[in-house]
Amino acid sequence: MAVFEEISPADFFYRNRDIAGFSSPSRAIYSTLRELIENSLDACEAVRVLPEVRITLRELRPSPTGAFFYSVRVVDNGSGVPGDKIPQAFGQVLFGSKFRLKQTRGTFGLGGTMAILYGQITTEMPAHIVSSTGDRYIHDYELMIDIQKNKPNVLRYKVHTNRDGWHGTLVEFTMEGDYTRAMPKVLDYLKQTAIVNPYADITFVDPKGRLYVFERTIRKLPSPPKETLPHPYGVDAETLYRLIAMTNTKSLSAFLMEHFHRVGKSLAGKVLERANLDPNRSPKTLTPSEVSDLANVMRSFEDFLPPDASCLSPLGEEILEAGIRKELNPEFVFVTKRKPSAYSGYPFIVEVGIAYGGGIPRTGDIVLYRFANRIPLLYDETSDVSWKVIHNLMDWRYYKVNPAEDPLAIIIHLCSTKIPYKTVGKEFLSDRPEIEREILNGVRLAARNLMLYLMRKRRFEIGKKR
């Protein structure tokens, strides 16, 4: 007889922790550090503060499985978390502040909690969280996660007076891991994070006591992404339903103008005409099939205005080129920032850089660097949409480029209010057609510029010979 049960989302990720990126002791170290660092960078940018992130990883003792127990500690000077929200922010899965339509590194509401959960199941020790938003109090928690209920369990809570007006967050817990195996990827992650976040000061003390310092190279934060309305292109019926349920607008025309990005009276009129709906009707009177028709029209309507980029925070060509030159020391660099586009209602911008020669090694293939919302992606590159573009969709011979012989690197940064990660561990991007097209066009433009450079170079060298 079948036994039916329901499980909490924390229990789901406990049972399937491979899915969240915690598949082995070395991968757990990488995933833990990246989740905490990304939380810290988000928190600093949220309050327009130049980030200072201090990471310490201390080896405690060997673990029974041939790995080690570590103490992880990450401190930042960011927004902090309100005292009453700390238990859920860190002790409940699918709880967070980043479900809004704004570009942030975090998006699922589970990364930080997952790291703490993994630490808990491998060491049975509580997590220590200290945080203040800069007001009069510093909140000091010791907590564990009730995995079956997906609820925090506060073991101890102290409040300190905040004499210096400190703001920020300290997260500290023990976990089993394998830093020796994880080290190359961890250092790679820190290095590439520094490239695309040049305004951040990051320090890392590793288990051997070695200190790594990534000093900021610019003192200016990028312009902050603003929260935005959903873009009408690609909206589905569920989104429409939710907006209709909570709207105060009294007419369909006002409904479209109020709740969608860059929809004015005349555009709203055209959309409603095509959907055969009276612009003056109250949105709450629509039947399910009328909602479905409206969604279908909006998904095929070609004349919406492209999103403006105010909800996005691209690197910009200057920062991207400077980072490429500093790290790769190439002979030739070309960078391009594509115009804003949208998929399924989410605005996005693709930035592409191409680098040739100089310090770039000949590896027999193009070296691919991938970034999403300023996060370096270091795993599963062959499953990523960028890989597909470069290896399956680009015709390099047309550009007189031979990927097997030329020393070539391609850098791709995607920023969006929702990055279409294929995995919970944020390892690679799914091949959404609109995004694939933008990456392809960006790489083609970059390839064309490389081709012109190489032609001039070869002509020059031929000229020299004569």
**Binding interface with ligand ATP (CB under 6 A):** 2, 35, 39-40, 43, 76, 78-81, 89, 96-98, 106-113, 169
| Structure tokens given for 89 | 């922010």
Task: Name which position in 31, 39, 56, 122 contacts a second copy (CB under 8 A).
Answer: 122
With contact defined as beta carbons under 8 Å apart, do 165 and 132 qualify?
no
User: CA 177 to CA 183: how far, in whole Å?
Assistant: 11
Residue 347 binds Mg ion (CB under 5 A): no
CB closer to ligand ATP out of 170 and 454: 170
Site for Mg ion in 103-122 (CB under 5 A): 106, 111-112
Residue 302 binds a second copy (CB under 8 A): no
Other C-beta atoms lying within 10 Å of the C-beta of residue 151 = 16
Residue 347 binds a second copy (CB under 8 A): no
User: CA 388 to CA 390: how far, in whole Å?
Assistant: 6
CA angle 78, 79, 85 (to 5 degrees): 130
Shortest Å distance, C-beta 219 to ligand ATP: 22
Residue 113 binding partner per list Mg ion, a second copy, ligand ATP, none, with a CB distance cut-off of 5 to 8 Å that depends on partner kind: ligand ATP
Residue 357 binds Mg ion (CB under 5 A): no
Residue 274 binding partner per list ligand ATP, Mg ion, a second copy, none, with a CB distance cut-off of 5 to 8 Å that depends on partner kind: none
314 burial level (CB within 10 Å; 0-12, 13-18, 19+): buried
Task: Name which position in 300, 329, 363, 402 contacts a second copy (CB under 8 A).
Answer: 300
Q: Which of 385, 349, 306 is nearest to 103 (CA)?
A: 349
Stretch that binds a second copy, among 162-170, 232-240, 262-270, 320-328 (CB under 8 A): 232-240
Residue 232 binds a second copy (CB under 8 A): no
Residue 63 binds a second copy (CB under 8 A): yes
Task: Name which position in 162, 180, 217, 296 contacts a second copy (CB under 8 A).
Answer: 296
Q: How are beta strands 68-76 and 52-62 bridged, if at all?
A: antiparallel
Residue 330 binding partner per list ligand ATP, Mg ion, a second copy, none, with a CB distance cut-off of 5 to 8 Å that depends on partner kind: none
DSSP states along 340-378: PEEETTEEEEEEEEEEESTT----SS-EEEEEETTEEE-
User: CA 294 to CA 235: how far, in whole Å?
Assistant: 10
SS3 69: strand
With contact defined as beta carbons under 8 Å apart, do 219 and 274 qualify?
no
With contact defined as beta carbons under 8 Å apart, do 45 and 415 qualify?
no
- Which residues of the chain form contacts with Mg ion (CB under 5 A)? 39, 106, 111-112
- Which residues of the chain form contacts with a second copy (CB under 8 A)? 2-9, 12, 14-16, 18-19, 23-24, 46, 63-65, 79, 81-82, 85, 88-89, 92, 94-97, 99-100, 107-109, 120-125, 147-148, 236-238, 242, 288-289, 291-292, 295-297, 299-300, 380, 382-383, 418, 420-424, 430-433
